[in-house]
Structure 1
Amino acid sequence: MPHPQEHGNGGAMESERDGVYQSTTEPIHNRGSCLQLGYLKTLRGKLKLLQVILSFVAFILEEVVNSCMNCHALYFFEFVSCSAFLLTTFLLIILITSLKMKLDRINWGTVDFTYTAVISSFFLIASIIFATQNDGSSLERASVTFGFLATIAFIVDVAVHCREEGLPCKKKQEKIAEPNKGTETVKAETEPLNDPETLPV
């Protein structure tokens, strides 16, 4: 029959054991959340949101124009501004949701850089053409102004990407160079130490 002291020691040992094996990690907040809103707090996240707003305003102002003498420039600006708004919104949704983690086979950094560089070039060309070929109405001038502002936002985004992460092509070259360095060191280590050519005569 166990003594009361032994029972008390066992209880103390169990309490100490429970204290030792308590979980020391804190639960991860928003683990199951679909939104990753921390991206919007970064500089590039703010630039992406600004691109969506400016391209949307440029598109809306262009749509309000009632008549045009040279409509080809207006239609091209309409296509570019609408495409920039829709595609940038789609890209922003991917970057702030769990879709980026689910589609992890895609290098979203390269996709983001390539898309932003291409759309900034098209927006610049469309804004210049529309600025030189319009009827001079206030709506057209306002649309062109927002087009240039959107272009600046895209160009700044490209510059920030290059400063923070570098060019994607350089990253690929570095990844290719790393395995080659490893094979060279392996070959040097596997060479025989008692090579007759290296022994002194």
Structure 2
Amino acid sequence: MEPAEVYRPTTTTDQQTKGKYFMVPSVHLDTPRCCIKALEVLLSFVAFVLEEVVNNCTSCAPLYFFEFVSCTAFLFTLLLLILLITPLHQRVGISCWPHLDFGYTLVIAFLFLIASIVFAADNGSLTVEKAAVAFGFLATAAFFIDVLLFWKKKGLPCQNTSPPADGQAVPVAESEKLNANGNE
């Protein structure tokens, strides 16, 4: 066996992932959640565009709040999606992507729900306003589905992990093992 064959699997893997710009599934985003996130971007964009088409309003505060939430959801979800499916997330300097993803998605889901309810309760009953509200509720549903899929697959990211119940020792990082033996 040649020495080059021993090193081939690790270097080949590095070279294969280096050239990829879109990685789905990735460490932080599996394929179903990626599709849901893309749907969130689309639905929040449509809700924002429909809200922008409204020419006049009898009570503008609900309209403006809905505008803010739908625009924020569209832009930040698009940014999060781009970061999670590309290697860019490694350059941002954030180490807790599951916490950020779960927390952001949950907050936007509740904000979209509140904005949609308020806008539905106090709008001018124009067809465009009703359509914006409908897309607002669809986007809300997509965000909540995303939160449920995250929770079902990975659990809550803010829960502390407990040691294994079967009495096995928790694995120690290799650098800690080396330092424990006095090899610093």
Q: Which residue of 2 aligns with 1:75?
A: 64
- Distance, in Å, in 2 between the alignment partners of 1:119 and 1:49 is 15
TM-score (norm 2): 0.78
Q: Which residue of 1 aligns with 2:179?
A: none
1:35 aligns with 2:22: yes
- Distance, in Å, in 1 between the alignment partners of 2:43 and 2:113 is 13
Q: Which residue of 2 aligns with 1:151?
A: 140
- State the SS of the aligned residue for 2:18: coil
TM-score (norm 1): 0.72
Q: Which residue of 2 aligns with 1:60?
A: 49
Contiguous gaps of at least 5 residues in structure 1: 1-19, 183-201
- Distance, in Å, in 1 between the alignment partners of 2:50 and 2:118 is 16
Pick one of 117, 128, 143 that aligns with 2:106. 117
User: Size of the alignment, in residue pairs?
Assistant: 159
Aligned CA RMSD, in angstroms, stands at 2.3
- Distance, in Å, in 1 between the alignment partners of 2:25 and 2:157 is 23
- Distance, in Å, in 2 between the alignment partners of 1:104 and 1:55 is 27
- Distance, in Å, in 1 between the alignment partners of 2:59 and 2:96 is 41
CA shift at 1:60, angstroms? 0.2
- Given the superposition, is the C-alpha separation of residues 150 and 105 from structure 1 closer, same or farther in structure 2, using an over 3 Å criterion? closer
Contiguous gaps of at least 5 residues in structure 2: 170-184
Pick one of 19, 23, 33 that aligns with 2:5. 23
Cα distance per residue 1:118-161 (max 9 Å; x no partner): 00000000000000100111100000000000000000000011
Q: Which residue of 1 aligns with 2:36?
A: 47
CA shift at 1:97, angstroms? 1.0
The structure having more radius of gyration, on CA atoms, is: 1
- Distance, in Å, in 1 between the alignment partners of 2:79 and 2:60 is 28
- Distance, in Å, in 2 between the alignment partners of 1:159 and 1:107 is 19
Percent of aligned pairs with the same residue?
A: 47
